[in-house]
Amino acid sequence: MSGIVFKVAKGLGFLIAGLIGLLLILFILIFGRFQVASWSNLASLGPSAPELNVDGFAFRDLNKNDQLDVYEDRRASVEARVDDLLGQMTLEEKAGLMFINFTPVGAKGNLVEIPSLSDPTTLIFAKNSDLIAHRHMNHFSLLAPVDEPATFIAWHNKLQGLAERTRLGIPVTLASDPRHGVKGAGSISLPAGAFSKWPEPLGLAAIGNADLVEEFADIARQEYRAVGIHVALHPVADLATEPRWSRISGTFGEDANLSARMVGAYVRGMQGAALGPGSVATMVKHFSGGGPQMDGEDAHFPYGKEQVYPGDNFDYHLIPFIEGAFPAGAAQIMPYYGIPMGQTSEDVGFAFNKEIITDLLRNQHGFEGVVCSDWGLITDAKILGTIGIMEARAWGVEDLSHEDRMLKMIAAGIDQFGGENIPAMLVKLVRDGSVEEARLDVSVRRLLRDKFRLGLFDAPYTDLEQANAIVGRDDFMAKGLAAQRKSVVLLKNGQNDANHWLPVSTRPKLYIENVDPVVAGEYADLVETPEEADLAIIRIESPYEQREGPIASMLHAGDVDFKAPEKARILNLLETVPTVVNIYLDRGIVMPEISEASAALIADFGAEDAVILDLVFGQSEPTGKLPIEMPSSVEAVSNQFEDVPFDSADPLYPFGFGLTYEQAASETAIIETEQE
């Protein structure tokens, strides 16, 4: 028997060893392929740009021809420089300029050339040298956090060094989704890291002060440029007229006039009076308004591809663009994924729709800047180029080939393809006569114009000493904290005029949930159970349905009401001890029973624990006003129109509601549309 066991064990050992060997071979083949490709890409690049001294000035000889070309001469006009460079570009270089996608950032400040299991983004996104040297791309977006400037700047400067070694030395433009919120929200916004921390845009709208928004955007501009971020994939000009939509926290609420003022201020703060070397170009999204999603579902997914207008309110969603983004001089625009149902002669997604991009945006409203599509409209997203993780958002044109999708976007008026790495496809379409090279020149001219205006051809590198002096500066952090305080909305304070719980003037026995006990201990004596407490403070998140998938799991979508058992647990607590409920509000939440049973109800849009405790204990006062409605029931949400604001029947808390400590709890605090 022992001999049989030995033979079986030996066989299993050989089998396991064989499997390990096979996996090792596969590992070597896969990662070796990336290493060989990296060596090839780097070998194809030329030297760094030497310095030219002309008329007592130093210039960068980007094309390494030992003479000063017009595009290298910072004294020349932007248009002259664009003309000169465009005339020197090959078809492949033009095509590469018309794509923007994510690129990974090296964890130690190094270029990312080999996929790493420790960083999943390196398995999905093409490597740095492949994009720059092989595909001639030089626009990238970033997901990596900026936890401290040194690592990010080291990587950024190495990336710009790669770009400098290309034939024409065209610098890299880096873009980012928002990254200044107290909460990072997946694909909507990113963690603030070392940057100053502010409420989400919905919280800025709760403050309602355009001057403050402009100041915030100016601070964000300084922190972005300090580390090498040049384009903001924001602000969001969409309107929150559909309370179930998952992207409301990134908007300025549901009032178009308020949003227009906020968007205009945001653009001015980021760009200044005109786009220049210190600016961050804003890519305002999503034209012509991405908020009225059918049943609140998001257009990232096929079940949310339809935007509907049952209230015939299409033009209302244009107001933040017409009265906000355009007058402020927004440099770039992004249309959304969805189909504006019944609004044009064909029901196709915005980026495929010539009547939206060319007729409405360009011709009717005179927009002359860059129009970049949202991410992934042509090809499916894949891991290591093989394992599909998300289908292309080619809504309305799903049956078209990849090439025909691209052609339709070009015909619609798109300048840049977001979330794609396929310039070779565009080159092929030109070579086979499907599209004229002159059409590419129109878009390339717009893209180059922004690179020149941003000063990237003359000074693409960032300085660590300067960044350390700017990023997370004490006064920036203090202003962000002050904005958090101003954004908080007091919705309820006791049951009647004689029973106001806030502000608390004593040092109570306090029970807490989701509050840092170290912070809370500065205000009260903490206890372990509600039964021991004089007062409880709980911080809760807005409810949502957990969805499956890499993007869906990050978006808070679906029903907006609390479900059992969590609802019952909260209500039981409220019956046990007087409780201050603080809810992070990222959508129009239904919570009448919790509101009724609470001692006080506070809404925030991204606020640190100390901000909430300062308000509860009277060290600050509530001033924020709701930028969205809070509906009274799920039925009211279902019955409202997706494209119409303020139309929820008998809302629990209407738009503009917000109490102060000087008001009786029974009084309303409705603001006018003009909040300032």
Helix (H, G, I), strand (E, B) or coil at 557: strand
Helix (H, G, I), strand (E, B) or coil at 328: coil
Rounded CA gap, 228 and 185, in Å? 22
Q: Which amino acid is located at 416 in the chain?
A: Q
Residues in Cβ contact with 650 at an 8 Å cutoff, skipping those fewer than 6 apart: 632, 636
The pLDDT assigned to 666 comes to: 43
Confidence of residue 549 (pLDDT cuts 50, 70, 90): confident
The pLDDT assigned to 409 comes to: 98
Rounded CA gap, 633 and 373, in Å? 36
Q: DSSP assignment of 199-226, as one string?
A: --HHHHHHHT-HHHHHHHHHHHHHHHHH
In this predicted structure, the answer to whether residue 13 has a pLDDT above a threshold of 90 is: no
pLDDT digits (tens, 9 = 90+) for 106-116: 888 999 887 76
In this predicted structure, the answer to whether residue 246 has a pLDDT above a threshold of 90 is: yes
In this predicted structure, the answer to whether residue 654 has a pLDDT above a threshold of 90 is: yes
Long-range contacts: 434-437, Cβ < 8 Å, 24+? Answer: 434/403, 434/407, 435/407, 435/410, 437/91, 437/94
Rounded CA gap, 485 and 182, in Å? 12
Least confident of 192-201, 244-253, 499-508: 499-508
Contact 66, 105 (CB under 8 A): no
Is 374 a catalytic site residue?
yes
Least confident of 87-101, 108-122, 462-476, 589-603: 108-122
In this predicted structure, the answer to whether residue 444 has a pLDDT above a threshold of 90 is: yes
Buried b (16+ CB within 10 A) or exposed e, 257-275: ebbbbbbbbbbbbbbeeeb
Rounded CA gap, 356 and 198, in Å? 34
Q: DSSP assignment of 150-187, as one string?
A: HHHHHHHHHHHHHHHTSSS-PPPEEEE----BSS--TT
Residues in Cβ contact with 568 at an 8 Å cutoff, skipping those fewer than 6 apart: none
Half-sphere exposure at residue 205, Cβ-oriented, CA atoms within 13 angstroms? 37
Neighbours of 312 (CB within 10 A): 11
- The torsion defined by the Cα of 440, 443, 449 and 454, in degrees rounded to 10, comes to -120
Give the mean pLDDT of 525-537: 97
Half-sphere exposure at residue 301, Cβ-oriented, CA atoms within 13 angstroms? 21
CA distances for 256 relative to 46, 158, 265, 643, angstroms: 51, 43, 14, 11
Rounded CA gap, 437 and 91, in Å? 7
pLDDT digits (tens, 9 = 90+) for 398-436: 999 999 999 999 999 999 999 999 999 999 999 999 999
The pLDDT assigned to 118 comes to: 64
In this predicted structure, the answer to whether residue 556 has a pLDDT above a threshold of 90 is: no
In this predicted structure, the answer to whether residue 8 has a pLDDT above a threshold of 60 is: no
Q: DSSP assignment of 598-644, as one string?
A: -SEEEEESS--HHHHHHHHTTSS------SS-B-S-HHHHHHS-TT-
The pLDDT assigned to 41 comes to: 80
Half-sphere exposure at residue 228, Cβ-oriented, CA atoms within 13 angstroms? 30
In this predicted structure, the answer to whether residue 383 has a pLDDT above a threshold of 70 is: no
**382 alpha carbon, distance to own chain's centre:** 21
Rounded CA gap, 186 and 181, in Å? 12
Counts for the chain of helices (H) and strands (E), in that order: 21, 20
Least confident of 2-11, 580-589, 649-658: 2-11
Give the mean pLDDT of 171-185: 91
Rounded CA gap, 355 and 346, in Å? 9
| Candidate list 69, 73, 374, 450, residue with the active-site label | 374
Give the mean pLDDT of 201-215: 98
- Rg of the chain in Å (alpha carbons): 27
The pLDDT assigned to 301 comes to: 93
The pLDDT assigned to 265 comes to: 98
CA distances for 195 relative to 140, 150, 425, 610, angstroms: 20, 13, 38, 19
Buried b (16+ CB within 10 A) or exposed e, 35-45: eebbeebbeeb
Confidence of residue 674 (pLDDT cuts 50, 70, 90): very low
Residues in Cβ contact with 613 at an 8 Å cutoff, skipping those fewer than 6 apart: 515, 519, 520, 522, 523, 537
> C-alpha angle with apex 627: 625 to 633, nearest 5 degrees?
105
Rounded CA gap, 118 and 61, in Å? 39
Instruction: Give residue for tokens 């030996």.
Output: 10
The pLDDT assigned to 675 comes to: 41
The pLDDT assigned to 551 comes to: 79
Helix (H, G, I), strand (E, B) or coil at 108: coil
CA distances for 460 relative to 135, 275, 357, 445, angstroms: 20, 16, 31, 19
Give, for 5, the enclosing helix (H) or strand (E).
helix 2-44
Rounded CA gap, 314 and 321, in Å? 13
CA distances for 312 relative to 335, 387, 531, 547, angstroms: 20, 42, 53, 31
The pLDDT assigned to 11 comes to: 57
pLDDT digits (tens, 9 = 90+) for 59-96: 999 999 999 999 999 999 999 999 999 999 999 999 99
Give the mean pLDDT of 125-132: 87
In this predicted structure, the answer to whether residue 669 has a pLDDT above a threshold of 80 is: no
Tell me the average pLDDT of the chain: 91
The pLDDT assigned to 670 comes to: 39
In this predicted structure, the answer to whether residue 333 has a pLDDT above a threshold of 60 is: yes
- The torsion defined by the Cα of 374, 323, 486 and 598, in degrees rounded to 10, comes to -70
Rounded CA gap, 139 and 229, in Å? 11
Give the mean pLDDT of 55-59: 94
Phi, psi of 600, deg, nearest 5: -155, 150
pTM for the whole structure: 0.92
- The torsion defined by the Cα of 126, 396, 640 and 584, in degrees rounded to 10, comes to 0
